Amino acid sequence: MNKKTHELIARLAVAKRPVKILFVCLGNICRSPAAEGIMQALVDEKGLSAHFVIDSAGTGNYHIGDLPDHRMRIHARRRGIELTHICRQVRESDFDNFDLVIAMDVSNERDLRRIAPTIEAEDKIVQMADFISMATKYDYIPDPYYEGAEGFELVLDLLQDACANLLRRLMA
């Protein structure tokens, strides 16, 4: 994790609650709604719902109004997580409404930096892979859209690992 991300998370860990987190990918039908569902389930499980606001959005506009991809919903359900997010696009006001804007890959990050209205807004953007602790060759969350079942399972493994670490850091 780079120093900037480390400092931001440390600052939020002691900040006034709730901490508001927005997960962002391209379509907002696979990776980011899965991250949202996983993080919300973790927070609920630990009785911490009052401490967090969790949402997701996409940089693209292809699937606005849709439920998450049916394959992602099936794979998540097998892990006990129901994905019910309705797809929406990232907007400039998200940078006012959230403390942490978490990109799934560098292309999401690049798009987010274009949308961010100020330098302070840009400072809220971090990479989800910064929170991965499991052994993996991935330093980003790979897009599973054109992949098979293994692609979805891999994304869920990476996201469950990263969400657990993110929550641990924010509660430290």
Q: Which helix (H) or strand (E) holds 8?
A: helix 3-13
Closer residue to ligand 4NP (CB): 19 or 36: 36
Candidates 2-10, 20-28, 35-43, 74-82; binding stretch for ligand 4NP (CB under 6 A)? 20-28
Candidates 26-34, 49-57, 78-86, 122-130; binding stretch for ligand 4NP (CB under 6 A)? 26-34
Structure tokens, 58: 């996409």
Q: Rule CB under 6 A: is residue 143 a binding residue for ligand 4NP?
A: yes
Closest approach, Cβ 28 to ligand 4NP, in A, equals 5
Using only C-alpha atoms, what is the Rg of the chain?
15
Q: Rule CB under 6 A: is residue 37 a binding residue for ligand 4NP?
A: no
Candidates 7-15, 25-33, 110-118, 163-171; binding stretch for ligand 4NP (CB under 6 A)? 25-33
Residue 92 is given by DSSP the state T
Q: Which helix (H) or strand (E) holds 6?
A: helix 3-13
Nearest-CB residue for ligand 4NP: 27
Q: Which helix (H) or strand (E) holds 150?
A: helix 149-170
Q: Rule CB under 6 A: is residue 29 a binding residue for ligand 4NP?
A: yes
Q: Rule CB under 6 A: is residue 145 a binding residue for ligand 4NP?
A: yes
DSSP string, 25-75: ESSSSSHHHHHHHHHHHHHHHTT-GGGEEEEEEESS-TTTTPPSPHHHHHH
- How far from 155 is each of 46, 78, 127, CA to CA, in Å? 23, 14, 14
Q: Rule CB under 6 A: is residue 25 a binding residue for ligand 4NP?
A: yes
Tally the C-alpha atoms within 13 A of residue 128's C-alpha that lie toward its C-beta. 34
45-74: which residues touch ligand 4NP (CB under 6 A)? 62
Closest approach, Cβ 146 to ligand 4NP, in A, equals 8
**Interface with ligand 4NP (CB under 6 A):** 25-31, 62, 143, 145
